[in-house]
Protein backbone atom coordinates (compact mmCIF):
# COMPACT_ATOMS: atom_id res chain seq x y z
CA UNK A 1 0.00 0.00 0.00
CA UNK A 2 2.72 2.48 0.87
CA UNK A 3 5.37 1.29 -1.58
CA UNK A 4 7.33 4.19 -3.02
CA UNK A 5 8.78 2.26 -5.92
CA UNK A 6 6.95 -0.17 -8.16
CA UNK A 7 8.01 -2.34 -11.03
CA UNK A 8 5.63 -3.18 -13.87
CA UNK A 9 6.28 -5.67 -16.71
CA UNK A 10 5.66 -2.97 -19.32
CA UNK A 11 8.69 -1.08 -18.02
CA UNK A 12 11.00 -3.95 -18.98
CA UNK A 13 12.82 -4.42 -22.29
CA UNK A 14 14.31 -7.78 -23.23
CA UNK A 15 17.60 -7.75 -25.18
CA UNK A 16 17.84 -10.79 -27.49
CA UNK A 17 20.48 -12.13 -29.87
CA UNK A 18 19.77 -13.76 -33.22
CA UNK A 19 22.53 -15.51 -35.14
CA UNK A 20 22.65 -16.36 -38.80
CA UNK A 21 23.35 -19.87 -40.00
CA UNK A 22 22.82 -21.96 -36.88
CA UNK A 23 20.41 -24.89 -36.68
CA UNK A 24 19.86 -24.82 -32.90
CA UNK A 25 19.92 -22.01 -30.33
CA UNK A 26 23.37 -21.76 -28.75
CA UNK A 27 23.85 -21.18 -25.05
CA UNK A 28 26.08 -18.24 -24.13
CA UNK A 29 28.53 -19.78 -21.65
CA UNK A 30 29.17 -16.58 -19.69
CA UNK A 31 25.44 -15.75 -19.47
CA UNK A 32 23.60 -18.84 -18.17
CA UNK A 33 20.02 -18.78 -19.48
CA UNK A 34 20.82 -16.48 -22.44
CA UNK A 35 20.97 -17.84 -25.99
CA UNK A 36 22.08 -16.88 -29.42
CA UNK A 37 18.76 -17.56 -31.10
CA UNK A 38 17.87 -19.01 -34.44
CA UNK A 39 15.14 -17.05 -36.21
CA UNK A 40 12.72 -19.74 -35.09
CA UNK A 41 13.72 -19.73 -31.42
CA UNK A 42 13.77 -15.93 -31.40
CA UNK A 43 10.15 -15.87 -32.50
CA UNK A 44 9.28 -18.18 -29.64
CA UNK A 45 11.17 -15.99 -27.15
CA UNK A 46 9.42 -12.91 -28.53
CA UNK A 47 6.01 -14.53 -28.08
CA UNK A 48 6.88 -15.52 -24.51
CA UNK A 49 8.02 -11.99 -23.68
CA UNK A 50 4.89 -10.47 -25.19
CA UNK A 51 2.64 -12.93 -23.36
CA UNK A 52 4.35 -12.07 -20.08
CA UNK A 53 3.59 -8.40 -20.71
CA UNK A 54 7.18 -7.26 -21.31
CA UNK A 55 7.10 -3.76 -22.82
CA UNK A 56 9.86 -4.02 -25.40
CA UNK A 57 12.26 -6.27 -27.22
CA UNK A 58 15.63 -5.06 -28.49
CA UNK A 59 17.34 -7.23 -31.08
CA UNK A 60 21.02 -7.75 -31.80
CA UNK A 61 22.03 -9.60 -34.98
CA UNK A 62 25.11 -11.74 -35.51
CA UNK A 63 25.78 -12.26 -39.23
CA UNK A 64 27.51 -15.28 -40.76
CA UNK A 65 29.94 -13.03 -42.62
CA UNK A 66 31.52 -9.89 -41.19
CA UNK A 67 33.64 -7.29 -42.96
CA UNK A 68 35.43 -4.03 -42.19
CA UNK A 69 32.42 -1.78 -42.90
CA UNK A 70 29.79 -4.04 -41.35
CA UNK A 71 27.88 -4.57 -44.59
CA UNK A 72 25.38 -6.97 -43.02
CA UNK A 73 24.17 -4.13 -40.81
CA UNK A 74 22.18 -2.39 -43.54
CA UNK A 75 21.65 -5.29 -45.92
CA UNK A 76 17.84 -5.62 -46.30
CA UNK A 77 18.34 -9.39 -46.13
CA UNK A 78 20.81 -9.21 -43.24
CA UNK A 79 19.99 -11.39 -40.25
CA UNK A 80 18.80 -8.51 -38.08
CA UNK A 81 16.46 -7.17 -40.76
CA UNK A 82 15.03 -10.64 -41.40
CA UNK A 83 14.43 -11.12 -37.69
CA UNK A 84 12.88 -7.67 -37.29
CA UNK A 85 10.44 -8.37 -40.13
CA UNK A 86 9.35 -11.71 -38.70
CA UNK A 87 9.11 -10.69 -35.07
CA UNK A 88 7.35 -7.42 -35.84
CA UNK A 89 4.81 -9.17 -38.04
CA UNK A 90 4.01 -11.69 -35.33
CA UNK A 91 4.09 -9.77 -32.06
CA UNK A 92 4.66 -6.14 -33.05
CA UNK A 93 1.21 -5.12 -31.85
CA UNK A 94 1.81 -6.59 -28.39
CA UNK A 95 5.41 -5.55 -27.69
CA UNK A 96 7.59 -2.70 -28.97
CA UNK A 97 10.09 -4.29 -31.35
CA UNK A 98 13.33 -2.37 -31.67
CA UNK A 99 16.88 -2.77 -32.89
CA UNK A 100 20.28 -1.95 -31.49
CA UNK A 101 21.77 0.39 -34.06
CA UNK A 102 25.50 -0.18 -34.11
CA UNK A 103 28.30 -1.77 -36.09
CA UNK A 104 30.26 -3.94 -33.68
CA UNK A 105 28.18 -7.08 -34.27
CA UNK A 106 28.75 -6.67 -38.01
CA UNK A 107 32.42 -5.67 -38.31
CA UNK A 108 35.23 -8.21 -38.54
CA UNK A 109 37.41 -6.04 -36.26
CA UNK A 110 34.66 -5.78 -33.61
CA UNK A 111 34.68 -1.99 -33.34
CA UNK A 112 31.48 0.06 -33.21
CA UNK A 113 32.52 2.07 -36.25
CA UNK A 114 34.53 2.03 -39.42
CA UNK A 115 38.24 2.61 -38.98
CA UNK A 116 40.79 5.08 -40.30
CA UNK A 117 43.80 3.59 -42.11
CA UNK A 118 45.62 3.96 -38.79
CA UNK A 119 43.04 1.76 -37.02
CA UNK A 120 41.18 4.46 -35.07
CA UNK A 121 37.38 4.61 -35.03
CA UNK A 122 36.41 7.21 -37.64
CA UNK A 123 33.54 9.16 -36.08
CA UNK A 124 32.14 10.91 -39.13
CA UNK A 125 32.49 8.01 -41.57
CA UNK A 126 30.70 5.88 -38.99
CA UNK A 127 27.78 8.32 -38.83
CA UNK A 128 26.97 7.62 -42.49
CA UNK A 129 26.88 3.91 -41.77
CA UNK A 130 24.60 4.41 -38.73
CA UNK A 131 22.19 6.51 -40.79
CA UNK A 132 21.93 3.78 -43.41
CA UNK A 133 21.56 1.04 -40.78
CA UNK A 134 18.79 2.90 -38.96
CA UNK A 135 16.82 3.31 -42.19
CA UNK A 136 17.27 -0.39 -43.05
CA UNK A 137 16.01 -1.31 -39.57
CA UNK A 138 12.98 0.96 -39.86
CA UNK A 139 12.21 -0.46 -43.30
CA UNK A 140 12.34 -3.95 -41.78
CA UNK A 141 9.77 -2.97 -39.16
CA UNK A 142 11.79 -1.76 -36.20
CA UNK A 143 9.39 0.43 -34.24
CA UNK A 144 12.23 2.31 -32.55
CA UNK A 145 15.98 2.46 -33.14
CA UNK A 146 18.63 2.51 -30.44
CA UNK A 147 22.04 3.87 -31.45
CA UNK A 148 24.60 2.41 -29.05
CA UNK A 149 27.96 3.35 -30.55
CA UNK A 150 28.54 6.67 -28.73
CA UNK A 151 29.70 8.48 -31.88
CA UNK A 152 29.37 12.26 -31.63
CA UNK A 153 26.35 13.42 -33.61
CA UNK A 154 24.80 9.97 -34.05
CA UNK A 155 21.30 10.92 -32.91
CA UNK A 156 21.16 13.92 -35.25
CA UNK A 157 22.20 12.07 -38.40
CA UNK A 158 19.88 9.17 -37.64
CA UNK A 159 16.97 11.55 -37.02
CA UNK A 160 17.63 13.31 -40.33
CA UNK A 161 18.00 10.02 -42.23
CA UNK A 162 14.80 8.55 -40.76
CA UNK A 163 12.86 11.75 -41.50
CA UNK A 164 14.20 11.82 -45.05
CA UNK A 165 13.16 8.23 -45.66
CA UNK A 166 9.60 8.71 -44.45
CA UNK A 167 10.15 7.46 -40.90
CA UNK A 168 9.61 10.66 -38.95
CA UNK A 169 7.32 8.67 -36.64
CA UNK A 170 10.07 6.24 -35.56
CA UNK A 171 11.51 7.32 -32.19
CA UNK A 172 15.14 7.10 -31.10
CA UNK A 173 16.25 5.59 -27.83
CA UNK A 174 19.76 6.96 -27.43
CA UNK A 175 22.45 5.17 -25.49
CA UNK A 176 23.38 8.55 -24.04
CA UNK A 177 25.73 7.93 -21.13
CA UNK A 178 27.54 4.74 -21.97
CA UNK A 179 30.64 4.04 -19.98
CA UNK A 180 33.77 2.17 -21.10
CA UNK A 181 32.81 -0.68 -18.79
CA UNK A 182 34.17 -4.07 -17.83
CA UNK A 183 30.54 -5.04 -17.17
CA UNK A 184 30.05 -5.52 -20.95
CA UNK A 185 32.43 -8.51 -20.95
CA UNK A 186 29.90 -11.36 -21.29
CA UNK A 187 27.93 -9.46 -23.99
CA UNK A 188 30.97 -9.58 -26.24
CA UNK A 189 30.77 -13.36 -26.17
CA UNK A 190 27.01 -13.28 -26.76
CA UNK A 191 27.26 -10.87 -29.69
CA UNK A 192 30.68 -12.07 -30.84
CA UNK A 193 31.93 -8.51 -30.97
CA UNK A 194 35.05 -8.25 -28.81
CA UNK A 195 37.40 -5.72 -30.42
CA UNK A 196 40.26 -7.56 -32.13
CA UNK A 197 42.62 -4.79 -30.99
CA UNK A 198 42.34 -1.64 -28.90
CA UNK A 199 39.27 -0.75 -26.85
CA UNK A 200 36.29 1.61 -26.83
CA UNK A 201 37.82 4.26 -24.60
CA UNK A 202 38.04 6.85 -27.40
CA UNK A 203 34.24 7.17 -27.56
CA UNK A 204 32.71 5.60 -24.44
CA UNK A 205 32.85 7.57 -21.18
CA UNK A 206 35.43 7.19 -18.45
CA UNK A 207 33.77 5.71 -15.32
CA UNK A 208 35.71 8.21 -13.22
CA UNK A 209 34.95 11.17 -15.46
CA UNK A 210 32.93 14.10 -14.16
CA UNK A 211 29.17 13.73 -13.90
CA UNK A 212 28.93 16.87 -16.05
CA UNK A 213 30.19 14.83 -18.97
CA UNK A 214 27.06 12.68 -18.84
CA UNK A 215 24.99 15.83 -18.58
CA UNK A 216 26.65 17.26 -21.67
CA UNK A 217 25.90 14.03 -23.54
CA UNK A 218 22.24 14.19 -22.55
CA UNK A 219 21.93 17.84 -23.62
CA UNK A 220 23.45 17.01 -27.00
CA UNK A 221 21.27 13.93 -27.53
CA UNK A 222 18.09 15.82 -26.67
CA UNK A 223 19.05 18.71 -28.94
CA UNK A 224 19.63 16.20 -31.73
CA UNK A 225 16.20 14.64 -31.21
CA UNK A 226 16.49 11.74 -28.76
CA UNK A 227 13.10 10.48 -27.53
CA UNK A 228 14.42 8.25 -24.73
CA UNK A 229 17.84 8.60 -23.07
CA UNK A 230 19.72 5.69 -21.60
CA UNK A 231 22.33 5.15 -18.93
CA UNK A 232 24.48 2.05 -19.24
CA UNK A 233 25.50 0.04 -17.22
CA UNK A 234 22.91 0.54 -14.48
CA UNK A 235 24.04 -0.62 -11.07
CA UNK A 236 27.34 1.24 -10.91
CA UNK A 237 25.78 4.40 -12.39
CA UNK A 238 22.64 4.89 -10.30
CA UNK A 239 23.64 8.49 -9.59
CA UNK A 240 23.73 9.22 -13.32
CA UNK A 241 20.23 7.74 -13.70
CA UNK A 242 18.96 9.97 -10.89
CA UNK A 243 20.65 13.03 -12.36
CA UNK A 244 19.03 12.35 -15.74
CA UNK A 245 15.60 11.76 -14.22
CA UNK A 246 15.80 15.07 -12.34
CA UNK A 247 16.99 17.02 -15.38
CA UNK A 248 15.18 15.83 -18.52
CA UNK A 249 11.57 15.60 -19.69
CA UNK A 250 11.80 12.37 -21.70
CA UNK A 251 11.74 8.78 -20.41
CA UNK A 252 15.02 7.57 -18.91
CA UNK A 253 16.11 4.01 -19.64
CA UNK A 254 18.80 2.01 -17.85
CA UNK A 255 20.55 -1.07 -19.20
CA UNK A 256 21.25 -3.77 -16.63
CA UNK A 257 24.10 -5.17 -18.70
CA UNK A 258 25.56 -8.60 -19.24
CA UNK A 259 28.09 -8.40 -16.41
CA UNK A 260 25.39 -7.38 -13.93
CA UNK A 261 23.35 -10.38 -15.05
CA UNK A 262 26.24 -12.84 -14.97
CA UNK A 263 27.45 -11.81 -11.52
CA UNK A 264 24.11 -12.64 -9.95
CA UNK A 265 23.70 -15.85 -11.96
CA UNK A 266 27.21 -17.01 -11.04
CA UNK A 267 26.81 -16.26 -7.34
CA UNK A 268 23.42 -17.99 -7.35
CA UNK A 269 24.85 -21.05 -9.11
CA UNK A 270 27.34 -21.29 -6.25
CA UNK A 271 24.55 -21.15 -3.69
CA UNK A 272 25.92 -17.92 -2.22
CA UNK A 273 22.89 -15.67 -2.69
CA UNK A 274 19.11 -15.79 -2.97
CA UNK A 275 18.77 -15.46 -6.74
CA UNK A 276 15.13 -14.35 -7.03
CA UNK A 277 15.33 -11.79 -4.25
CA UNK A 278 18.54 -10.34 -5.58
CA UNK A 279 17.14 -9.97 -9.09
CA UNK A 280 14.08 -8.12 -7.80
CA UNK A 281 16.15 -5.96 -5.47
CA UNK A 282 18.54 -5.00 -8.26
CA UNK A 283 15.63 -3.92 -10.48
CA UNK A 284 13.82 -2.01 -7.74
CA UNK A 285 17.08 -0.17 -7.01
CA UNK A 286 17.37 0.89 -10.65
CA UNK A 287 13.73 2.04 -10.63
CA UNK A 288 14.25 3.96 -7.39
CA UNK A 289 17.24 5.71 -8.95
CA UNK A 290 14.81 7.06 -11.53
CA UNK A 291 14.74 4.70 -14.53
CA UNK A 292 11.37 4.59 -16.28
CA UNK A 293 12.49 1.67 -18.46
CA UNK A 294 14.94 -1.12 -17.73
CA UNK A 295 16.67 -3.32 -20.28
CA UNK A 296 17.31 -6.64 -18.56
CA UNK A 297 18.02 -10.20 -19.67
CA UNK A 298 15.60 -11.31 -16.94
CA UNK A 299 12.70 -9.36 -18.47
CA UNK A 300 10.45 -12.33 -19.29
CA UNK A 301 11.12 -14.18 -16.04
CA UNK A 302 10.55 -11.07 -13.94
CA UNK A 303 7.44 -10.05 -15.87
CA UNK A 304 5.95 -13.49 -15.19
CA UNK A 305 6.75 -13.22 -11.51
CA UNK A 306 5.21 -9.75 -11.32
C1 LIG B 1 27.20 -2.10 -28.71
C2 LIG B 1 26.59 -2.62 -27.44
C3 LIG B 1 27.27 -3.22 -26.38
C4 LIG B 1 26.29 -3.56 -25.44
C5 LIG B 1 25.06 -3.19 -25.97
N6 LIG B 1 25.28 -2.59 -27.20
C7 LIG B 1 28.69 -3.56 -26.23
C8 LIG B 1 29.73 -2.53 -26.13
O9 LIG B 1 29.48 -1.32 -26.19
O10 LIG B 1 30.89 -2.90 -26.02
C11 LIG B 1 26.54 -4.24 -24.13
C12 LIG B 1 25.35 -4.84 -23.46
C13 LIG B 1 25.66 -5.75 -22.33
O14 LIG B 1 26.81 -5.82 -21.82
O15 LIG B 1 24.74 -6.44 -21.89
N16 LIG B 1 26.48 -2.55 -29.85
Kindly state whether residue 3 falls inside one of the protein's structural domains: no
Kindly state whether residue 4 falls inside one of the protein's structural domains: no
| Count of CB atoms situated within 10 Å of the CB of 120 | 12
* pLDDT, position 272: 98
Kindly state whether residue 197 falls inside one of the protein's structural domains: yes
CA 86 to ligand 1 center in whole angstroms: 23
Kindly state whether residue 2 falls inside one of the protein's structural domains: no
* pLDDT, position 155: 98
Strand pairing report for 35-37 and 12-19 = parallel
Q: Domains in the chain: how many in total?
A: 1
Q: Give Cα 27 to chain centroid, integer Å.
A: 19
Kindly state whether residue 1 falls inside one of the protein's structural domains: no
* pLDDT, position 53: 98
Contact 54, 12 (CB under 8 A): yes
Kindly state whether residue 244 falls inside one of the protein's structural domains: yes
Kindly state whether residue 285 falls inside one of the protein's structural domains: yes
Tell me whether residue 43 is annotated as binding: no
Tell me whether residue 200 is annotated as binding: yes
H or E segment at 300?
helix 299-305
- pLDDT (tens digit per residue) in 251-306: 999 999 999 999 999 999 999 999 999 999 999 999 999 999 999 999 999 999 99
SS3 31: coil
Contact 64, 195 (CB under 8 A): no
* pLDDT, position 202: 86
Kindly state whether residue 84 falls inside one of the protein's structural domains: yes
Q: Where residue 145 falls among pLDDT bands split at 50, 70, 90?
A: very high
Average pLDDT over residues 49-75: 97
Q: Where residue 93 falls among pLDDT bands split at 50, 70, 90?
A: very high
Average pLDDT over residues 86-102: 98
- Mutation test residue for ligand 1: of 102, 183, 231, 294, the one with most atoms within 8 Å of CB: 102
Strand pairing report for 12-19 and 56-62 = parallel
Report the b/e string of 51-69 with b at 16+ CB within 10 A: ebbbbbbbbbbbbeebeeb
Q: Where residue 99 falls among pLDDT bands split at 50, 70, 90?
A: very high
Query: How far is Cα 303 from Cα 199, in angstroms, rounded to an integer?
Result: 35
Could you confirm whether 232 is annotated as catalytic? yes
Q: CATH no. for residue 120?
A: 3.20.20.70
Q: Which domain holds residue 288?
A: 9-305
ipTM of the complex model: 0.95
- pLDDT (tens digit per residue) in 218-260: 999 999 999 999 999 999 999 999 999 999 999 999 999 999 9
CA 1 to ligand 1 center in whole angstroms: 37
Is there a cis peptide before residue 55, judged by omega within 30 degrees of 0? no
Amino acid sequence: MVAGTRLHPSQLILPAFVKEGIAEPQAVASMPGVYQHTRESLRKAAHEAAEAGVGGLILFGIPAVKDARGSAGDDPDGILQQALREVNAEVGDAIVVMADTCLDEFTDHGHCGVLTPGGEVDNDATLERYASIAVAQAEAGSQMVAPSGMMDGQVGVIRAALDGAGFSHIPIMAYTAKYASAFFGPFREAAECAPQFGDRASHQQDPGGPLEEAMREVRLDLAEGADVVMVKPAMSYLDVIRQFRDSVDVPVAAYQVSGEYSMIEAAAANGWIDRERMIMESLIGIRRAGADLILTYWATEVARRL
